[in-house]
């Protein structure tokens, strides 16, 4: 009896102890949970910690582990939280709340900019009730990610993810000049049923007219013109407009009627504002200008508000057309010129290494930066890039033409920079002091290095034309016109007959510009955007041609080289 009584008491003691232990687990867990709710995360972690080890009497091990990790995250210890969550996944992979563990792990990885790991974990969340939170987390976390290439890689891995698709569309919409990006953007818009105008600015539906009004807003400086045959200070503007007027006559013979109107801005924003306030201006079909950069904000704003196409015929700055669906450059932008020059070097230079020289202007810096970026992508090594101020031009000859050996006639035959060791030199400036020093250095070297420059060098009498024949110089020449072509001869003879002098380069550009825009108005109407963007090549009247596909600046850049005293196109890109 005593043994039975003892056994009974022992069983009763064990059961009582077990019940009290169970009650202690309950109390510990709910106390810890209350501390968590009150935001006392440090105390909560201490209270959850004893509940984490496995015990068959403890039903709270997984929950305590989860809340311990969550409290660590809330307190600013993401590494501790990540370790705890990963341990929980390893030891309790089938736990019913494992989706929440994956959700918080994803958040930790997103906070650390590990977007791909974060996406991988969110993909493991299967609970439909959590999906709104998943999408909200994804949208917030990825909103900082603006790199199109990274988003492309994500899109490849998660092709059905709508959030990634929209973010990629937004990133691609920031640069519509790249044909591949533009095509991918339009595909995304179709696949995700997005509103196209949210990503690609569109002009209104085009229409045609019997007579098109073209308004030229430039500093004609009528009040200061002197009645003499001498060259005027604003001769560029006068020549350009004369070329435009001759083109209007040519267009009229082809059945295209243009009402050409000139407004003298006198290089004054006040005068420009007065001209734009004229009631007739709202009915114009094409705005031409400005000549000076500081006038652009007014003209750009007017163009956008009134939905009137604006063409800048002489500038290369993409700032003049940015964020304006109605804005165009007649010339290639600085970015385009740099990229096309790099593509030419990658194809034609004998050696894939290059030196870049550029001046102190913003234009030169943009040109050089875009050249170097594209060149590296195309496999060209940039040996050095040098920003040259006027007082530092001597450095050019030091680099290119410091002799180390001489022949029997005391002529240099070897240099610090070995002969035939350099493939090309890109000269990203129209500063004569810089490019003449480069050409002098190349002439001294007498090797095969290729020099890439600009057609504007030909307008300055600082280089003997014979050097263009004898040295390996190639010029980017979007305005190059073949003098012996039929259209050029007709233009030339009529201009001489009308004005009693030969046309300048700017008169020729004015003629070409007006013919180009006039024919676009004829063929595609007032809003010629769609028609122009559908053509990969638009032939020029005097020049090689144009390409405005996916772009608002001319993407076609011819390259010329002199042979036997005559400039010829050696490539176009």
Q: For 481-527, write each residue's pLDDT tens digit.
A: 989 889 999 999 999 999 999 999 999 999 999 999 999 999 999 99
Nearest to 309 by CA among 562, 520, 24: 520
How far from 456 is each of 86, 198, 284, 453, CA to CA, in Å?
A: 64, 39, 32, 9
From residue 508, alpha-carbon distances to 217, 221, 299, 474 in Å are: 19, 21, 25, 22
CA 225 to each of CA 60, 257, 279: distance values in angstroms, whole numbers, following the listed order: 93, 30, 28
| Sequence-distant (≥ 6) Cβ neighbours of residue 378 within 8 angstroms | 342, 343, 345, 346
3-class state of residue 40 by DSSP: coil
Q: Which pLDDT does position 228 carry in this prediction?
A: 61
pLDDT score, position 133 = 94
Pairing mode, if any, of strands 412-415 and 403-406?
antiparallel
Q: Which pLDDT score, from 0 to 100, does residue 259 have? A: 98
pLDDT at residue 486, as a whole number: 92
Strands 353-358, 381-387: parallel, antiparallel or unpaired by DSSP? parallel
State the pairing for strand pair 412-415/545-546.
unpaired
Residue 216 CA to residue 431 CA, distance in Å, equals 29
The pLDDT value recorded for residue 18 is: 43
The model carries a pTM of 0.76
String of DSSP letters for 397-437: HHHH--EEEE-TTS-EEEESS-TT---EEEEE---HHHHHH
Whole-Å CA distances, 223 to 219, 265, 266: 11, 11, 9
Q: Which residues are registered as beta bridge partners of 261?
A: 215
pLDDT under 50: residue ranges of the chain = 1-23
């Amino acid at each position: 009896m005593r043994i039975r009584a003892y056994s009974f008491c022992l069983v009763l003691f064990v059961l009582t102890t077990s019940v009290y232990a169970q009650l202690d687990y309950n109390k510990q867990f709910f106390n810890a949970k209350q501390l968590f709710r009150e935001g006392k995360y440090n105390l909560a972690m201490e209270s959850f910690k004893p509940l984490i080890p496995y015990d068959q009497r403890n039903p709270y091990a997984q929950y305590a582990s989860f809340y311990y990790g969550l409290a660590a995250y809330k307190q600013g210890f993401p590494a501790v939280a990540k370790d705890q969550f990963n341990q929980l996944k390893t030891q309790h992979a089938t736990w019913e709340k494992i989706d929440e563990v994956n959700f918080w792990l994803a958040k930790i990885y997103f906070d650390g900019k590990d977007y791909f790991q974060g996406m991988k974990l969110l993909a493991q969340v299967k609970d439909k009730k959590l999906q709104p939170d998943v999408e909200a987390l994804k949208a917030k976390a990825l909103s900082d990610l603006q790199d199109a290439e990274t988003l492309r890689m994500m899109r490849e891995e998660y092709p059905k993810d709508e959030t990634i698709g929209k973010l990629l569309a937004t990133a691609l919409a920031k640069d519509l000049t790249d044909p591949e990006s533009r095509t991918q953007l339009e595909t995304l818009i179709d696949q995700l049923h997005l509103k196209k105008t949210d990503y690609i600015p569109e002009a209104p539906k085009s229409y045609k007219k019997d007579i098109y009004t073209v308004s030229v807003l430039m500093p004609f400086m009528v009040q200061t013109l002197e009645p003499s045959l001498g060259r005027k200070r604003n001769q560029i503007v006068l020549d350009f407009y004369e070329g435009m007027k001759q083109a209007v006559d040519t267009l009229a013979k082809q059945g295209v009627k243009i009402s050409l109107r000139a407004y003298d801005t006198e290089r004054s924003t006040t005068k420009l504002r007065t001209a734009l306030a004229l009631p007739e201006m709202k009915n114009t079909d094409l705005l031409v200008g400005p000549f000076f950069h500081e006038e652009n904000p007014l003209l750009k704003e007017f163009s956008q508000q009134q939905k009137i196409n604006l063409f800048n015929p002489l500038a290369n700055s993409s700032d003049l057309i940015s964020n304006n669906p109605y804005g165009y450059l007649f010339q290639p932008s600085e970015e385009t010129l740099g990229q096309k020059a790099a593509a030419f070097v990658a194809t034609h230079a004998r050696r894939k290494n290059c030196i870049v020289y550029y001046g102190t202007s913003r234009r030169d810096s943009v040109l050089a930066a875009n050249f170097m970026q594209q060149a590296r992508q195309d496999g060209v090594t940039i040996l050095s890039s040098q920003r040259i101020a006027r007082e530092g031009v001597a450095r050019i000859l030091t680099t290119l033409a410091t002799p180390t050996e001489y022949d029997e006639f005391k002529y240099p035959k070897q240099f610090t920079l070995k002969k035939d060791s350099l493939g090309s030199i890109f000269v990203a400036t129209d500063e004569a002091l810089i490019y003449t020093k480069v050409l002098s250095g190349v002439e001294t070297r007498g090797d095969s290095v290729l020099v890439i420059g600009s057609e504007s060098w030909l307008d300055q009498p600082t280089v003997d034309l014979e050097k263009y024949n004898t040295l390996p110089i190639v010029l980017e020449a979007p305005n190059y016109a073949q003098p012996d072509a039929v259209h050029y001869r007709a233009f030339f003879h009529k201009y001489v007959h009308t004005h009693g002098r030969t046309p300048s380069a700017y008169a020729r550009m004015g003629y070409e510009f007006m013919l180009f825009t006039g024919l676009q108005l004829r063929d595609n109407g007032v809003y010629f955007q769609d028609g122009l963007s559908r053509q990969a090549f638009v032939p020029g009247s005097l020049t090689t041609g144009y390409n405005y596909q996916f772009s608002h600046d001319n993407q076609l850049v011819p390259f010329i080289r002199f042979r036997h005293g005559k400039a010829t196109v050696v490539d176009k890109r």
